[in-house]
Structure 1
Amino acid sequence: MKKIFTVLYLMSISLSSVYAQVTSIPALQYTYTNYFQLNREYVHLHLNKTKIAPKENIWFSAYVYDLRTNLPNATTTNLNVALFNEDGQQIDYKTIFINHGFGNGYFNLSEKKLSPGSYYIQASTNYMNNFREDLTFSENFQLLGNLQEKSNEKENIKYDLQFLPESGHLLANVSNNVGVKLIDQNGKGVFFYDAQVLNSNKEKINSFKSNKFGISKFIINPKVSETYKIQLKTEYGDTILQSLPKPEPKGLILKANNFLTDQLALCLETNEESLSKISHKNFFLTITQNQNIKGIQLNFNHSTTYNTIIKREDLFPGINIITVFNENFQPILERLIFNPINIKRKSVTAEISDNLIDSLVIKIHSQEKIDSLQRISISTLPTNNKSYTPSHNILSSFFLKPYISSTIEEGSYYFTDANERKRLFDLDLLLLTQGWSSYNWKNIFNFKPTENFQNEIGFTLSGKLLDDSKSEHRLFITSKTSNLLEILELKDSTNFSLNHLFLKDSSKVYLGLFNKNLNKIKKSSYALSVLPFKKESSFYNSKKTIVNTNQDKFLPIDFKTFIQSTEALDTVVIKAKKKQEIDHRHSGFSDVTLVDEQMATQYHYITDYIANQNFEVRRTMGDVIIKSRRAATINGSRQTRVILDGVPLEGNTVMIYNLLTSQVESISINKSGIGYGVFGGNGVIEIITKTDYKNAKSKNKNFFEYITNNGFSKNKKFYQPKYSSYNTNLFKKYGVIDWQPSITLDKINPEITFKIPNTLTENTTLYIEGMSADGYLISEEIILHLKQ
């Protein structure tokens, strides 16, 4: 075998010659790697369920991945998530904050008063618009109503029987592998059996049956003068008879054997009729994945076959795209294969560690050594439920779907704990029937992606001061719910702009002008806008998403009394409401503490509490200085910023000198200062007094108030709906037990526990998805048994 050539970055080749015509191996390499220089960020949404009962909401966690580095994508913070009905009309839209590739959110479906039916949730970023490939994540889900259970009656099915030769065409007088795929009018696979290959004399020359997805293959050595038909029986008892396409009299085919333990066998084959024309010609075989390319030059040398063995260690982990080029570097054959070696996957275990009668304690533990932070999300449902049927798990979303242009039915199946040999065989069947990958060589040769659309990192607040205030040039901008606190020098301009802000949707922003002494604020008028504007997203009815069609024939199901209220544990919700209101008046990155009687007794002054939180507090005559114990910032200062009732105490903390802890409603401490820029380098302490909130309106009289019309979606804690009973078939089929959107494991804490309601369900299933900071993916389906 000729030596595999590796990726080369040959900058000496001019772009004009490369994109006009590829004429050499270096040009091919350069053209290919250039096409993948920009980051195609891929998204996976882990939904808590895909069949939603009335009065339930849909919850999700988002994972964003960079396939070039196999790491969480850290460049984008704005993930646009939209809901569509089956007619493609947008019914809701949110921007989710993504932090190092991870975020979470929900949609309140009950307030939308949507009709039962089929809906889509789609996720995309602005940066995806740079590419010709559709990178949008799309998942179908069902809103259940009072007539939603599918009957056993046979539907009026329209069959589509497809013959898909391994090389895209049949070649006469050689052995061909032919993929077969039977789907219905909705793209869903139909199982078939007793399939026969018949010649013109109706003699059986081969037989086969499909897997559960309606996919199979057979071998045939076709003759030009012969005709062939395929006859089969469907799972519904129908018989289909269809002619096989005529073989090409001359040409070349590619065959792959991906079932050897530690190697891949490839065979390029031609027939005697073609050999004289191609025996002295050079061909090129490449193996590609994302920006990586390897390959060999080959020729037939008077033989009708060219065989090569490639060690698995020389393949890329996951999907490998094998392409054959002719002497003019035109792609003529392509085959996708999957290499399961060295896939970046890690596992976790789960168990019931304690039974507290009304709740169960679940322990999650990493099975392998943890080298970096792991974030996971967990949907807990009754085992054998009908409400969790996503098209993909996180593994198939990132390791399979990006490379395939057509529908993948139950992509998650190929990465489950099912029989490994059968699972890999079925995966190879799927890939055999795909033909060309999602990356079109015409695009690769002619359309290098350009960065016309930027990564969206937060929001921009743009404004103009409408008053003529010549004496005041320092603009004070704050928003407690959006973690915003800035002081701008306006100088000679009345226009201002703040970029990359963590702004929450519909949050209040206050603006005011400082006087020269920075001790008074003047109210002025402003014209303001938040960018980017909310978008009317385009609906992509992706071929990669199969519509759930279980809604043509139904048996009656009564959901009217299924759920009593949308949130169980009402007393807990009421108690939590007060804390939630206070949390919203603090920054999103702070630890908020509510002052109670015990705390007020233990710490006489609020500065006593601050000192106990590892700050250096020095009381002088009539003043108090608070400093961080961390290393000084670049300006040499260690002084911590203090914000009292939303107003920063710029170098003057006398107002908290005698502030009693009993006078404080809440205090939040942000030791890292994340979200405050240079002002927060030594930490930020926010104090809200008891009198402030009661007199908030009067205190805000010096501020201009603006309510944002865009921003990151506000999230809320998941509460299990209050079901009328756990002991019903309806709950076992469609009920939800728990949703954990964000659980973290790391070196220090390789295991974690959390509580779920005890529904007395004998078997409970945890659907776990996750991603680590070093790019390993987690996907588990774990059944827990409740010991009675």
Structure 2
Amino acid sequence: GKSYSLEYSINGEPFSKEIKAIKRVGFNISVNDLQDKLAIKFSTNDTSLNLITNTNYYMVIHNGDDLRVIPFKFKEKEVLKVIPKTDLFAGINIITVFDGNKKPILERLYFNEKDIEQSTLVNIRSKTESDSLNVAFKIDDFDNNSFNSLSVSVLPTGTKSYTHHHNILSQIYLQPYVKGAIENAAYYFRERDRKKAYELDALLITQGWSSYDWSKIFSFNEVFIHPFERGIDVVATINSKKEGGLYIVYPTKNSNTQIFSLRENENVFTQKRVIPFEGEKLRIGEVASKGRAPGVFPQFFPSAFSSFNKKYDHLNPTVGQDAVAANTIPELSLSSWNKAQELDEVVIEGKRQYTRLEKLKRKSNGAQIYEIDNLLKNRAMPLWQYINSRTGFRASYDAFNNNFTISNPRVTWGPSTPMVYLDDALLTQGGSLNILSTINLEIVDYIEAQTSGSGGGLRGGQAGYIKIYTSPDYYYRNQQSEKLAEFDFPLTFDAPQKYYTPVYQFYKTKFFKEYGVIAWFSNLKPDANGTVSLKIPITFSEGVSLYIEGISNNNSLVSQIIEIE
């Protein structure tokens, strides 16, 4: 018989390897890209055709989330299926052939570039001012009404520290679908052309089977003990004899206010995918409860970290001849203390009395504090009128549409709606913010307001923030447990921490050029025109490189490197 070998080269050095165990019976798969269509061909030989003629096979095209099934039979040595790319999935398509017993016998991975959205950064500008380099760029085809967020790593040009094999596109569209690691996967998604599409397809051929283990999938014996990491589900059961009612779950930093309406025969509601930060509580109130906390029994899923009964081998500590025993450590000599002179104690006492307003200002990080005295409380002025007259914000209430709005007139571009909190609970425009329409100064303790974009915490924006605190006897007050049912979350998440750029003593060094960090910017939001502006400290580098990853226009990915001399 014939022998076959594989000839290839690595870095110019030729290699040859014999192909063994070639089977006489079977069939293979090949694909051909026809621009807007994909031709999938199954081929066999005469020996196999006599065995598999009129046998039912099923071609399943899937992506891990959805699948499409196309049955076929062999009547000749070739079976051709032409599929419009509009019927394929964006990104990886896993083409698996099953026999009549649901046994996978053949598989091929194909990457469909159609419908993969990638945004480009244009109008790149830079200008040096004093000790900073101001850089601006614009997102092409920008949509101001969609979600946009970018992350930028600023490193010296020629750095050796940014050696990631993946960018955001390859990490999402490629890596989850293959078994092995992919070297320099980001290459296939930068400046894509026909050559890179061909190389990516060759890569997928060498990868062979996808990351799915079909024997486990069809065994139906897999028990999912640990749920997906999607947050915490809260199942709340009403303990009172009364059934039905309207219940409010107050917001956390990562979730908005939710209202649950229960019918007369219902006493359970579920809040899904809660992501509480450390220190936050589950707070539940009941509408028309006359100021009483509702009787609620919450259950949290998950409620504890799973325990793993795994045993691992470990190395026992080795004590060598050079180890020093504890009893051989010499005693500390105290002779040097003989010349010490004890000084008389000097005590300075002082007590600074701060007013309540001063204490609030010291805690406010530079914000304005508006304390509501008894004279203002007695006037019972509507809250929105006071906000307009004193805080610098503009509030209005549309009674016909029951819509309460607050804006910052100082903002000339971008979102002008400030972050609004009621007793540290974040309110949402068009939702829980409407509760402010029922509040007057009679029940307000004080207001903290900041019209600039600083001091608003992790969720603060350029429009500033306003925090409204009610009097202690007001039933909306989060801290009043007799008005709300409060519960600790058994599991919480760490809040994002601020990134601090390392400080270097010298910048004109080989080490800084190859491994130094200039700056890192996260969660950057473009202005109304789609422009992102950065202020980068000058480090006297010959050039800087901006590694930009992110999302624009809800589902378009951004991955681009900008070099500035």
Q: TM-score normalised to the size of structure 1?
A: 0.45
SS in 2 for 1:433: helix
Counterpart secondary structure, 1:717? coil
User: How far, CA to CA, are the matches of 2:30 and 2:173 in structure 1?
Assistant: 23
1:323 aligns with 2:96: yes
Q: Which amino acid letter does the alignment assign opposite residue 67 of structure 2? A: N
Given candidates 680, 686, 695, the residue that maps to 2:468 is: 686
- 2:504 paired with 1:723: yes
Distance 1:275 1:440, change over 3 A: same
Report what 1:739 is aligned to.
520
1:503–1:711 Cα contact (<8 Å) kept? yes
Q: Which amino acid aligns with 1:723?
A: Y
Structure 1 residues 332, 755: closer, same or farther in 2, change over 3 A? same
How many residues matched? Answer: 442
Partner Cα separation in structure 2 for residue 615 and residue 234 of structure 1: 75
> Is 1:750 matched up with 2:530?
yes
SS in 1 for 2:208: coil
Distance, in Å, in 1 between the alignment partners of 2:151 and 2:128 is 22
Q: Which runs of 5+ in 1 are unaligned?
A: 1-224, 464-475, 487-495, 522-526, 541-580, 587-591, 618-625, 670-682, 690-698
Q: How does 1:763-778 map to 2 (within 5 A)?
A: 763-772=543-552, 774-778=554-558
Equivalent pair of 1:459/1:502 in contact (CA under 8 Å): no
Q: Hey, what does 1:56 align to over in structure 2? A: none
* Percent identity of paired positions between Structure 1 and Structure 2: 28
* The one of 115, 118, 133 aligned to 1:360: 133
* One-letter amino acid of the structure 1 residue matched with residue 563 of structure 2: L
Cα shift at 1:365: 0.9
The residue that corresponds to 2:44 in the other structure is 270
C-alpha distance in 2, partners of 1:709/1:282? 53
One-letter amino acid matched to 1:729: K
Partner of 1:346: 119
Displacement, 1:356?
Answer: 1.5
Q: Which residue of 1 aligns with 2:397?
A: 629
Q: CA deviation at 1:614?
A: 4.9
Q: Distance in 2 between matches of 1:282 and 1:706?
A: 58
Q: Which moved more, 1:287-296 or 1:361-370?
A: 287-296
Aligned partner of 1:252 in structure 2 is 27
**CA 1:720–1:350 in 2, change beyond 3 Å: closer, same or farther?**
farther
In the other structure, the counterpart of 2:174 is: 400
Instruction: Give the CA deviation at 1:277.
Output: 2.5
Distance 1:666 1:235, change over 3 A: same
How far 1:767 sits from its partner (Å)?
Answer: 1.8
2:449–2:466: 8 Å Cα contact kept in structure 1?
A: no
| In 1: Cα distance, 2:220 partner to 2:156 partner | 49
Contact in 2 for aligned 1:479/1:507 (Cα 8 Å): no
Q: Give the Cα–Cα distance (whole angstroms) in 1 for the partners of residues 515 and 290 of structure 2.
A: 63
- Which residue is 2:154 aligned to? 380
Partners of 2:58 and 2:485 in 1: how far apart?
Answer: 68
Report the Cα distance in structure 1 between the residues aligned to 2:81 and 2:197, rounded to whole angstroms. 22
Provide the rounded CA distance (Å) in 1 between the counterparts of 2:490 and 2:12.
Answer: 53
How is 1:163-182 mapped onto 2 (pairs within 5 angstroms)?
none
2:305 paired with 1:535: yes
| CA drift at 1:355 | 1.8
Task: Select which of 68, 78, 81 maps to 1:293.
Answer: 68
Deviation at 1:477, TM superposition (A): 12
| Alignment deviations for residues 8-44 of structure 1 (CA, whole Å, 9 cap, x no partner) | xxxxxxxxxxxxxxxxxxxxxxxxxxxxxxxxxxxxx
Offset from partner CA, 1:364-383 (integer Å, 9 cap, x none): 31112426222222222222
Residues 481-530 of structure 1 show CA distances to partners (whole Å, capped at 9, x for unaligned) of 999999xxxxxxxxx9996766431469999xxxx9979x9xxxxx9998
Answer yes or no: is the 8 Å Cα contact 1:319–1:336 preserved in 2: yes
Structure 2 stretches of 5 or more lacking a match? 238-247, 259-267, 311-358, 407-419, 426-434, 452-464, 472-479
Structure 2 Cα separation of the partners of residues 644 and 309 of structure 1: 62
Query: SS of 1:439's equivalent?
Result: coil
The higher relative CO (CA closer than 8 Å, separation ≥ 6) is in 2
Provide, for residues 564-622 of structure 1, a one-character-per-residue CA deviation record: whole Å limited to 9, x for no partner: xxxxxxxxxxxxxxxxx999989xxxxx97028xx99xxx98989964755999xxxxx
Q: What's the TM-score once normalised by structure 2's chain length?
A: 0.60
Partners of 1:262 and 1:312 within 8 A in 2: yes
Classify the secondary structure of the residue corresponding to 1:422. Answer: helix
SS of residue in 1 equivalent to 2:448: strand
- Equivalents in 2 of 1:611, 1:503: separation in Å? 34
**What residue identity is the alignment partner of 2:519?**
D
Alignment of 1:320-719 (within 5 A): 320-326=93-99, 330-349=103-122, 351-370=124-143, 372-417=146-191, 420-445=193-218, 447=220, 453=227, 456-457=230-231, 503-506=276-279, 532-533=302-303, 535=305, 594-595=367-368, 611=385, 613-614=387-388, 629-631=397-399, 653-654=441-442, 666-667=448-449, 685-687=467-469, 710-719=491-500
Quote the Cα distance in structure 1 between the aligned partners of 2:309 and 2:135.
39
Deviations 1:263-282 (A, max 9, x none): 43433222232232334445
Alpha-carbon distance change, 257 to 481 in structure 1, aligned in 2, over 3 angstroms? closer
Deviation for aligned residue 1:717:
3.2
Q: What SS class does the counterpart of residue 759 from structure 1 fall into?
A: coil
CA distance in 2 between counterparts of 1:537 and 1:392 reads 32
Which secondary structure does the structure 1 equivalent of 2:197 belong to? helix
Contact 2:60–2:95 at 8 Å: present in 1 too?
yes
Alpha-carbon offset, residue 287 of structure 1:
3.0
Question: How much has 1:445 moved relative to structure 2?
Answer: 4.5
Q: Secondary structure at the match of 2:525?
A: strand
Amino acid at match of 2:173: F
- The answer as to whether partners of 2:518 and 2:537 remain within 8 angstroms in 1 is yes
CA shift, 1:415, in A, is 0.9
Q: Which letter maps to 2:42?
A: L
Alignment partners' CA distance in 2, 1:583 and 1:443: 62
Q: Residue 139 of structure 1 aligns with which residue?
A: none
